[in-house]
Structure 1
């Protein structure tokens, strides 16, 4: 006797829960054993999300730490908001990870449910394809590399749930009667925007989904359908860019500024292209081949996706999924960290590819018994091949979780136990330390955001540029302790810090280094905030990005303008830090004069020690009128100053300083009264 639909649905949900919960237990169990009971988080970035979630729960949305102000550094806009209720319910400290795990399992079951709705056959061939909906959960958990990300505590599982609902919404917009279709199109557009709010590279899927909605408009206007499906995403991106610009001075998010290959000012376009190609190669070989079972069987998933793209019933979903999968990988390849952290940035592409393959399996199975047999054989091969990696990925998950618990969590514990309690800690993109210790922090890499200061951009230019921003802070606001990897922070940790503690782990597979060091800070070599030189008409603190931006400063890039820093003695014999840029021979730097009125001035240039060089100086005039300045050898232990009389400087005049002989090490520029 045929089961009633309700009973069959309950049975389907029960069978769907088995692989999802079984995979979760397989990952969390060994990891818990390795962490000694601390809820496993294989990435420190998980705790960054927890920090944003705590701030949101405390009434500070879009802030990493209450008091730090707006941050555009979160990789997901909505995931912290989904975690915030867990914090309010009492899931505090590492145990917010348990709430994240429950949320991940619920999200994956929701994705399975969406797949069931998409895969339940209708019309001719339904009888031979009905089994596909029952094996849909296996498509969700079949790839161990993807499972690692599903259960990591990151936003990937939530992305999966939103992905499934967005696809269902597009299908409903396709099948709805004309009077209902506009509402379904708007629903699809809102869910597509939610995809992008969950992971920014999902824009590669949101755009073709909007086109698919327009293609299915039928008797309605395709242009109006496209507007309904795409406008929410466009408004979201515009609002995010406007907020970033208003609060940080950057149109892009801090993560894009810090991590994108294109943000680095020093490499040439060819060097950037090579880096992107390296990322693409790694993603293709490791995520789209090895992780799927090897080059031969890895082709089955895209082949099944192609079958779906050729099928009349499924092509409006399959084509966007394939475009989204490979398009998101292209976007991810622009990320300098794409090859690291167990290829987590490839997870959305793998999810899209698996869903497309599930659609292709159903489309092929509808073609009759023989085709259904072929579909079953291909599905079994595609889903079984990656299983050889389960043991390794589960072990890597456990070892990574042990790394984070043993290093980042332990550093947080030690800092929290220090007496007197630290005022503020300087760290580099570390989430567990401020979240678990409760100590306010400044993220030197800029992803945490701090009162609109451009730490993300400064960290790309170089460590001394980060120090220049710290110099802008009041003495009481500067961090009094550091928790840093020494190899990442040369010129800061070793110059301004005194090592007082360290945490070293064995078997490091995830942390940036096996030892994280705690330092006490000594900022005595920094200038007091707001210091102004007597007689100065204008000043540009080179490598201070705030000052550079205010003066329209430009340096020789690419392959020039590298940031350097030094602590040398000033005229009074006191040690003084300054950062600057290297201007190679034949290249120049320039800035717009900020003097109040037209008149003569003296250009004063701070530099350090070195051999003889020659400079060319021009002010608002053609290059042939530049003044050549011979600079003799300078002592290595103190700052030196080069003075150039200028006949006239007007507000906004472009002052150009060219290196005619040798590399000019430019640290500070003043326009002084003559």
Structure 2
């Protein structure tokens, strides 16, 4: 890959900077006017990255907040590390967004430079295709929906830069002489791994790029080339999974646990498939059609990508790009939030399609003057068609930034000004509030991580399961204020909080609700940590995921085991919270007994009020040996207990409780001395 003359290269860089910096100014200018001078961030998730970056700068990498411990909730492993130098250089508070904007512009210019290297024509037809390299920056900024994400402060622009570098590395591995080819293959593998470290769904591109490197091995071993190109990604994914397992008990990252459609235990496979299809439809119609100028114009980009895939020089890059684009869309369709946040999850796919189209334009232009004219017409149509959306996307960017500044940033300001200063704030996946206020936080949705506790998994099961984990914390550790959307946190905000303030915004286009409420916490209905019932041989706190995991607790799925919570009177008349699960008629729950020795016991089951039901109880024996227990109607104002004598229970025995008649509301289980 030969270097062009220095003068032409400088001129190219100057012309490339115009569309990139012009697009940046077009988005940031109106947004700054709407936010009143706060650096614009159209997504609160931007501040989550800022929190990870600050923690890394302070010597706590892979933590959202120093003191909270390891977090697997960051969607990008390397983006916070790229932001951390900005924090150290003095870009503090919301002004870290300015550093992120400078980084985004630099990343996009780097992507343009990589495209220039890939599009510089070689050999026959070079004269008719030289203009394509000069048009490369237009491919980068032509789609307003993608520009929204480029300049949002998220990791997308960095992904673009890594994408360009990875493609250049694959091309170098293809063209390198045999003596240099193994080193270039390893280099390509490292950049492929960086792609995945920037955005996890980029694995859909990293894998076919490794295959492309192996396909270009030439006289060298294809298997060895594939190993060199794929091993860094495999090691990265393996190390990440091992760290997740060691520090959180989950192989997957918190974002996957919390957001993937497959994580919920309640829906049927058909219901999950329908949700994925809804996401795919929205992504196709809104991101791959409307955002590209409509169904007819939207076909041009994949058509040009197909031209590149058929071209001998371009196919080793174009085929992986097309597979990566559509493969990444399939992966993000598994995300329950794929249709929201201005379709930001589709941004990597759009970037890959645009690069593939640029390669196709160059491949077609090399075919002669007539083909070059066709290529120019197609490229012009593809790049001009989305332009009708610029005004709408710029306006949406400004309004969304005003939403975040008016709500999340304002809540942070108010909390930071409270006296006495709050000890810890409970929130739901909110980045600006802890980052700007400096108050330690507990993320109830689990993406922030907290000392290895399974908050992400609990939030999938239901709000009462989150409360069960808070009950495990020492009283001094529990959050003393909440900053929550009431509609998201029914059973927590209204039960354990007292409303003291609220921030309401108008013209909401981005926040989950127009009002975020500040509460003072009252955890008096929770049990003291470590509380133990006298005479208990073993106990299972249902819907406490830590306790359930320790007892290998299981419930019938799907359409069963829903988590519920209640505050009722205990035997002493005091209000006491407990969470439990609904076991529908014909379904069962089971757990492994944790008794110390074999012997008789009494099974005690806590439930709430309701009509008559019947249960079947069996211990380590076939279902036909189960004992039927008739349970009469119970009062609704206090906890009730069902007692079942068991002849013998041994350590590890499976205790099975089946709902024979009616739905059993199971909240707590004890094995007591007889």
TM-score under structure 2 length normalisation: 1.00
Q: Separation in 1 of the partners of 2:545 and 2:557?
A: 15
CA displacement at 1:622 relative to structure 2 = 0.4
User: Compared with structure 1, are the counterparts of its residues 24 and 490 closer, same or farther at alpha carbon in structure 2 (3 Å cutoff)?
Assistant: same
1:339-363 superposed Cα distances (whole Å, 9 cap, x missing partner):
0000000000000000000000000
1:295: Cα distance to partner?
Answer: 0.1
Displacement over 6 Å in runs of 4+? 1-4
Q: C-alpha distance in 2, partners of 1:482/1:557? A: 33
SS at match of 1:338: coil
Report Cα offsets for 1:293-336 as digits up to 9, x if no partner.
Answer: 00001000000000000000000000000000000000000000
Distance, in Å, in 2 between the alignment partners of 1:557 and 1:483 is 33
Q: 1: CA distance between counterparts of 2:269 and 2:180? A: 50
Residues 534-592 of structure 1: CA deviation (Å, up to 9, x unaligned):
00000000000000000000011100000000000000000000000000000000000
Structure 1 residue matching 2:235: 3-state secondary structure:
helix
Which sections of structure 2, spanning at least 5 residues, go unmatched? none
Q: 1:245 to 1:417 in 2, by over 3 A?
A: same
Secondary structure (helix, strand or coil) at the match of 1:520 reads strand
**Secondary structure, in 3 states, of the residue corresponding to 1:56?**
helix
Q: Distance in 1 between matches of 2:671 and 2:4?
A: 86
Shift of the 2–173 alpha-carbon distance from structure 1 to 2, 3 Å rule, reads closer
For 2:534 and 2:643, the matched residues in 1 are separated by 15
Which runs of 5 or more residues in structure 1 are unaligned?
Answer: none
Give the structure 1 partner of residue 298 of structure 2: 298
Distance 1:258 1:111 in 2: 32
Q: CA deviation at 1:189?
A: 0.1
Stretch moving more, 1-10 or 388-397? 1-10
Alignment partner, residue 457 of structure 1: 457
Matching of residues 486-525 of structure 1 within 5 Å: 486-525=486-525
Question: Displacement of 1:369 after TM fit?
Answer: 0.1
Q: What SS does the corresponding residue of 1:101 show, helix, strand or coil?
A: helix
**How far did 1:2 drift?**
17
Residues 293 and 4 of structure 1: is their aligned pair in 2 closer, same or farther, counting only changes over 3 Å?
Answer: closer
CA, structure 1 residues 2+589, in 2 after alignment: closer, same or farther (shift >3 Å)? closer
1:22-44: per-residue Cα shift (whole Å, max 9, x none)?
Answer: 00000000000000000000000
- Aligned partners of 1:257 and 1:380: how far apart in 2? 43
Q: Deviations over 1:274-293 (max 9, x none)?
A: 00000000000000000000
Q: Provide the rounded CA distance (Å) in 2 between the counterparts of 1:318 and 1:598.
A: 66
Q: 1: distance between equivalents of 2:651 and 2:111?
A: 61
CA shift digits 1:349-389 (9 cap, x unpaired): 00000000000000000000000000000000000000000
CA deviations on 1:502-543 (whole Å, 9 max, x unpaired) are 000000000000000000000000000000000000000000
SS in structure 1 of the partner of residue 466 of structure 2: helix
**C-alpha distance in 2, partners of 1:273/1:503?**
37
Q: 1:369 to 1:210 in 2, by over 3 A?
A: same
Q: Is the alpha carbon distance of 1:40 and 1:2 closer, same or farther for their aligned partners in structure 2, counting shifts above 3 Å? A: closer
Show CA shifts across 1:411-447 (max 9, x none).
0000000000000000000000000000000000000
Secondary structure in 1 matching 2:48: helix
**Matched position secondary structure for 2:648:** strand
Structure 1 residue 125, shift from structure 2 partner: 0.2
Cα distance between partner residues in 2 of 1:306 and 1:203: 21
Q: Distance between the aligned counterparts of 1:163 and 1:152, measured in 2?
A: 18
| Offset at residue 4 of structure 1 (A) | 8.0
TM-score by length of 1: 1.00
* 3-state DSSP of counterpart to 2:579: strand
**Secondary structure, counterpart of 1:399 in structure 2:** helix
- What's the offset of the Cα at 1:3? 13
CA distance in 1, matches of 2:558, 2:456: 19
Question: 1: CA distance between counterparts of 2:4 and 2:568?
Answer: 83
Deviations 1:581-609 (Å, cap 9, x if unpaired)?
Answer: 00000000000000000000000000000
Q: How many residues are paired up? A: 674
Query: Secondary structure, in 3 states, of the residue corresponding to 2:577?
Result: strand
- Counterpart secondary structure, 1:296: helix
Distance across 2 between alignment mates of 1:555 and 1:448: 28
Show CA shifts across 1:441-497 (max 9, x none).
000000000000000000000000000000000000000000000000000000000
- Distance between the aligned counterparts of 2:95 and 2:111, measured in 1? 25
1:668 to 2:668 alignment:
yes
What's the CA shift string for 1:591-634, capped at 9, x where partnerless?
Answer: 00000000000000000000000000000000000000000000
Distance 1:598 1:203 in 2: 51
SS of equivalent to 2:451: coil
The aligned counterpart of 1:626 is 626
Match status 1:87 vs 2:84: no
